Structure 1
């Protein structure tokens, strides 16, 4: 039982961070004027929802209760994103903040996949989802750099 609690707790941390991202992308998709960005944000929000669902299923399989809320850092990041968007370049502001949220998620996934304390059941799910997480991260990083260079 101890093992499954560790699995649930590891995965629940990732659920919180992925949920932050999902909520933030959904909000950003409603706020930006650029149609292509809106589509991109909506697509990544859906992707984050799938990650949350898969992690939640793994938590349940381990006998745990899936996390249903985000993190404090995520809430603060959203507030900051709103503020930054209100003050100026909405599109770049959101992309920069979202890219930061991607950094956080990727870092958390990388850590869980490398940590020797991560139970095998948790590691399997993390390793399976990692390419997806990395791909979203890379898309947002490329977008941020492209926008930065266009300014």
Structure 2
């Protein structure tokens, strides 16, 4: 039972991060004038929503409930996405992309922390690894866009 509480707590923490990412990408899509970036941001926002649903289903398998649709109020990642909102107000794509990179790096770090405890999360390790890979791929794509705009 104690194990289930830890699993549910860890997964809820990841859901908070995914929701932060979803909201951040939605805000970024509204702030940029680039049609290409709008599409990219909306794609990753939808991806984060899908990841959160997968984890919510897994929480249910462990007897938990996650009705949280919002990000973490006090989390580091929330502050990171607030930085994105600040970057958004400048409407500069490079600033927006840089802020998103910071958020994605923080998300990967959170996934890495949960993945370290592979015995606790053995039954859903593949889901977590797949999601971490998706976030890493998004980070690489965002970095590529930023580098292209800087040069």
TM-score, normalised via structure 1 length: 0.86
Q: Which runs of 5+ in 1 are unaligned?
A: none
For the aligned residues, what is the CA RMSD? 1.9
1:19–1:52 CA contact under 8 A, matched in 2: yes
1:90–1:67 Cα change, 3 Å: farther
1:70 is matched with: 71
Q: Which runs of 5+ in 2 are unaligned?
A: none
1:112–1:123 CA contact under 8 A, matched in 2: no
How many residue pairs match? The answer is 148
Q: Find out whether 1:101 has 2:86 as its counterpart.
A: no
1:139 is matched with: 141
CA distance in 2, matches of 1:78, 1:132: 18
- Deviations 1:44-93 (CA, angstroms, capped at 9, x unpaired): 1011111111111111111112261312234433332232333x452111
Instruction: Indicate the larger mover: 136-145 or 52-61.
Output: 136-145
**Which 4+ runs in 1 deviate beyond 4 A?**
none
1:112–1:118 CA contact under 8 A, matched in 2: no
CA distance in 2, matches of 1:137, 1:84: 17
1:8–1:64 CA contact under 8 A, matched in 2: yes
2:3–2:120 CA contact under 8 A, matched in 1: no
1:84–1:90 CA contact under 8 A, matched in 2: yes
Relative contact order: is structure 1 or structure 2 higher (C-alpha 8 Å, sep ≥ 6)? 1
The aligned runs of 1:101-140 (5 Å cut-off) are: 101-116=103-118, 118-140=120-142
Q: Using the TM superposition, give the Cα deviation of residue 147 of structure 1 relative to its aligned residue in structure 2, in angstroms.
A: 2.4
Instruction: Indicate the larger mover: 35-44 or 2-11.
Output: 2-11
2:8 is matched with: 8
CA distance in 1, matches of 2:92, 2:13: 29
